[in-house]
Amino acid sequence: MAREGRAGPRRRPVEPFLWLLFSGGGMAAAVLVPVLVLLFGVVFPLAGGPPYDHLRAVAAHPLTRVALLGLAVLAFFHWAHRFRFAVEHGLGLGRLDRLIAPLCYGAALAGSAAAAHVLFLTL
Amino acid sequence: MSAEPAMRAAETAGESIVLRVSRYLPGRDAEPVPRDYEVPLREEWSVLDGLNHVKDVLDGSLAYRWSCRMGICGSCGMTVNGEPRLTCGTFLSEFAPGPVVVEPLRGFAVIRDLVVDIEPFLGKLASVTPWLVRNGAEPPPDAEFAQTPEQLGAYKQFSMCINCMLCYSACPVYALDEDFLGPAAIALAQRYNLDSRDMGAAARFDVLAAAGGVWDCTYVGECSAACPKGVDPAGAIQQYKLTAAMETVRRFLLPKGAR
Amino acid sequence: MTAPDDTAARYRRPVPVLWWTGRRPYLLFMIREFSSVFVAWSVVYLLLLVRAVAAGPAAYRGFMELSASWWMLALNVAALALTLFHTITWFVVTPKAVAVRVLGVRLPAFMVAGPLYTAWIAVSAFVVWLLVR
């Protein structure tokens, strides 16, 4: 039945965990991201942002760091999952799943590491 | 004797609409060729009535499937102006002044004209163990399985499927990968998984959560939009993803003996 | 009449590579999936901001100047539009994708979507309060 080039049963064990990360990221991003983009991407650049000391105090609070790391990890895996299927289905590259999937989730993993570095080692 | 030609004349004198029908004869055609037929445009005529007119009056060689004419047999699904539809429930007047483009269901191999190969679909249906599994707890033949309205309600929606395959035709994932189990088969699996009398969920998990199963679905949602019976196979698939993910986590966390 | 060859002469309609461009629901689906790129970009942008804040007041001022440049503003307006599209599509599909049952009866969609929109508004209001108080 299975056609050549298909990933076969290999895809089974990790797929549910990737889907849970994707779903968690979708929910976290839906609730948090629009307001953050609105404020930091549009309103503050046009109308002036909060004073430096206040922003630093908010950002450096342990709860903020944990929340932002959680958002970053989930949002990156959300992107990885959707981008993987958008490329595989949208460009007809499903046979390259063995290549595309590791690249996407690998990028999400690298992004998560970078987020942890920024939030817990530089701040 | 003279009444029939007179009626024909009256018909042709009235409004008509062009049916642009996809014709394919293996051996003769390398690919389907559209052919136009002018059929009477009547308010109460469905696309299927138009096709029957073609077959009865204009060209008896046209091949297509149909049976009940009332949206329950699931035989007459075709692509009408690009959309998967039951031709018995799609009216010619919707497309006036025409033409009405009638093609075979997309996503399936065409055998001839508007007839597609349904064998792969039937194989998928059979693969999800679509019956009540009792695991050795078979009750005596005269026993009744009482269900509360809530227990019936849990799966009733998914039992309304008529196997018309419109959902497969609307699904781009299936069009790209014929190994994908697909909307109707997964909804059918859920119909039994959610039945309080059934004990087969573990066996179905091995099919639904394997490659080609629910994880290939990206929730385009068009299967549910195409469904003429309100089954919502897209919802069934996503709901099963959560069930399967939780089951996977459970198996991952629990030691083998405790499952 | 000879029996038709059962396997050789089937016609398979090829799927166009850009199949999602030809039909509105497919195009909307692809935009929905593509919104994830802007979700990721938004988080990257936030992390760049945090990095600037960590580097001191001068770096923060520099970042604010960069964020006020026309192309960065344009990028973030697009990000705002697509992340809003993400939120709305996410809240539209969630009640269909998750069957919440209370006492054996499945809750109607609005009773699942309602709390989601409420949480969205509450979290957004909290973030605004936290930053501009």
Give the domain range for residue B28. Answer: 3-116
Query: pLDDT, tens digit, for every residue of A76-110?
Result: 999 999 999 999 999 999 999 999 999 999 999 99
Q: Is the same domain home to B181 and B110?
A: no
B204 to chain A, minimum CA–CA distance in Å? 14
C-beta atoms of B32 and C11 within 8 A: yes
The topology (CATH level 3) of C18-86 is 3 helical TM bundles of succinate and fumarate reductases (1.20.1300)
Which chains are within 8 Å of A by 3+ CB pairs? Answer: B, C
C-beta atoms of A34 and C84 within 8 A: yes
CATH number of A14-122: 1.20.1300.10
Q: Is the same domain home to B112 and B131?
A: no
Q: Domain tally for chain B? A: 2
**Residues of each domain in chain C carrying CATH 1.20.1300.10:** 18-86
Angle made by CA atoms A23, A94, B234, in degrees to the nearest 5: 45
Q: Is the same domain home to B82 and B128?
A: no
For A55, name the nearest residue in chain C, comparing CA atoms only: C131
Tokens at residue C126, please?
């909290």
Scanning C95-114 for CB atoms below 8 A from A yields none
pLDDT at C6 over 60: no
What are the extents of the domains in chain A? 14-122
Q: Is the same domain home to B160 and B93?
A: no
C-beta atoms of A44 and C64 within 8 A: yes
Q: Rounded distance, CA C40 to CA B125, Å?
A: 39
User: CB-based contact (8 Å) between A113 and chain C?
Assistant: no
Mean pLDDT in order along chain A per 10 residues (123 residues): 42 86 97 98 94 95 97 98 96 93 97 97 89
How many Cβ atoms sit within 10 Å of the Cβ of residue B133? 17
Q: Is the same domain home to B112 and B124?
A: no
Interval C1-30 mean pLDDT:
82
Query: pLDDT, tens digit, for every residue of B170-181?
Result: 999 999 999 999
In Å, the largest CA–CA distance within chain A is 63
How many Cβ atoms sit within 10 Å of the Cβ of residue B11? 16
For A2, name the nearest residue in chain B, comparing CA atoms only: B179
